[in-house]
Amino acid sequence: MKRDRYLPVVLTREQVGMLIDSMDNYKHKAITATMYSSGLRVSEVCRLRYEDISRSKKMIHVPVSKNRQDRYTILSDRNLEILTEYWYRYGRPRGWLFPSTVRDEPLTTSAVELFVKAHAWALGLPEGVTPHTLRHSFACHALEDGVSHTFIQQLLGHRSPGSTDVYLLMTSKALMGIRSPYDTFAPSDTEGVCNG
């Protein structure tokens, strides 16, 4: 029995920027920026530790994740600035990078889900925005920028290339430089088709 498959929600770059930049809570801002800029799952960002951030190598170490394997992903300059500001504002945490405020444990994924969904709704962003939307948006925007499918697969920690293929369906074909063959016709090729 075949089941319908729906494409996930993807935000534009402008929408991602609005979501992150408008957050007054700096901890929320740092978490959201890290999920988008590095393509992390919500469970992965919650379990980051101070030592997982490599400022000199511009990388983030992602400990054993969904696929039970370690990996490294990129650390953007803009996100590093936000993380540094967050770290100073929130008592320079040395264990969990984003600790819970009630116990010595990482922030829960449900807490992140709540504030991302609430903020997206308040901004009037498309329905269905979740923390995973930021991961989808990262992958699509990277493809549009010419990053190879293989590199994106590695950054996201996908075991199978098929898991990354869905982003090929969702990216802007114009930004990827893909044109319809019809747009390559010379003007004379289409003139005089309808003469009456």
Active site residues: 41, 66, 132, 135, 158, 167
Distance CA 50, CA 55 (A): 11
Q: For 89-105, give the DSSP string.
A: HTT--SSBSSB-SSSSS
Strand, helix or coil for residue 66: coil
Query: What span, in angstroms and rounded, lies between the C-alpha atoms of 152 and 170?
Result: 14
> Cα–Cα distance between 145 and 56 in angstroms, integer?
24
Question: What CA–CA distance (Å, rounded) separates 132 from 9?
Answer: 9
Order of strands across the sheet with 53-54?
A: 53-54, 59-62, 71-74
The answer to whether 27 and 116 have CB atoms below 8 angstroms apart is: no
